[in-house]
Amino acid sequence: MSGSSMWEAVSGIIRRDLLLAMRRRSDAAMSVFFLVIVVSLFPLGVGPEPAVLRIIGPGVLWVAALLACLLSLGRVFTADYLDGVLEQMVLIPQPLALLVGGKVLAHWVISGFPIVLLSPLLGLQFGLSGESLGVLVMSLLLGTPTLSMIGAIGAALVLGVRGSGLLVALLVLPLYVPVLIFGAGAVTSSMAGIGGEANLSLLGACLVLSLFLAPWATAAALRIALE
């Protein structure tokens, strides 16, 4: 009974968030557009040399994906904070961390997953080959949920704080470093012929760790924000 009502609340919030995203499709599309534009700027800045682009490609794609995730963080809790739904969430008779996990999952589906889907196309722009493209998709598939999980902590900490958009970037970006290193490293090493498995498994470890720890920290931060 307790398990099913817990699931009810979590799945309810996921469904509601997805429904809201469907009603506001342009919001979700924005981070994808941002990604495409940022990635397209690099060849313009660095020059169209294919050899150079191939070297910087994994890093550029990963940094751009990271920034796109960062920009979407404002949407995780802000609307709910402003209209009072967040108060109701904190007062549910289930552990808040589970609900937070559900919300972050919904957020990833809306703004992280499209990035993963789009990445092979962008990888082609940088001359990545078949196997590296696969590794790129895998690395983003493992890495972007971690980014959402870590980012949610920052988003919850800065709720209602002045200058929160910039502040969340300053808080969260240092925490993103390991994911960036393992993610871009996976693609780079697969291009170098070493294979990206080691980096991918480290990314997986980061994901598991963040799935366990981040929701609790986020829940604590939300409670603090609502005091």
Partner 1 sequence: MSIGINWLKYSSPQAFYPLAGRLIPWFACAAVALMGVGLYMGFFVAPTDFQQGEAYRIIFVHVPAAWMSMFLYVVMAVWAGIGMGLNARLSFMMAQAIAPTGAMFTFLALLTGAMWGKPTWGAWWVWDARLTSELILLFQYAGVMLLRTSIDDVRRADRASAVFALVGVVNVPIIYFSVQWWNTLHQGASVSMATGSKMASTMLTAMLLMTVAFWLYSIAVILARVRCVMIERESLPVWNDDEKPAVIQEVVEAR
Partner 2 sequence: MAVKSTHVPLGTLPFLPLFFHASFPYSRPSLCEESLLLQAVALRCSRGERRLFTDLNVKVERGSLLAVVGENGSGKTSLLRIFSSLLPPEQGSVLWGGQDIHQLKELYSGQLTYIGHLNGIKDDLTLLENLMSAMSLAGEPCSNNGAKEALEGIGLKRPIHHLPSKVLSQGQKRRVALARLWLSTRPLWLLDEPFTSLDTAATDVVTQRLLMHLQRGGLAVVVTHQEVALPAEVVQRLRLMG
Binding site for partner 1 (CB under 8 A): 153-154, 157-158, 161-164, 167, 170-171, 173-175, 177-178, 181-182, 185, 188-189, 202, 206, 209, 213, 217, 220-221, 224-225, 227
Q: Is residue 205 within the footprint of partner 2 (CB under 8 A)?
A: no
**Coil/strand/helix, residue 157:** helix
Q: Is residue 91 within the footprint of partner 2 (CB under 8 A)?
A: yes
| 30/34 Cα distance (integer angstroms) | 6
Considering only residues 94 to 123 of the shown chain, the ones binding partner 2 according to CB under 8 A are: 94-95
The pattern of x and - marking residues 36 through 75 that bind partner 2 according to CB under 8 A reads ----------------------------------------
**How near is the Cβ of 13 to partner 2 at its closest, in Å?**
6
- With contact defined as beta carbons under 8 Å apart, do 28 and 109 qualify? no
Count how many Cα atoms sit within 13 Å of the Cα of residue 83 in the half-sphere of its side chain: 5
Among 18, 19, 139, 175, binds partner 2 (CB under 8 A): 19
| 63/69 Cα distance (integer angstroms) | 10
Tally Cβ neighbours within 10 Å of residue 205: 14
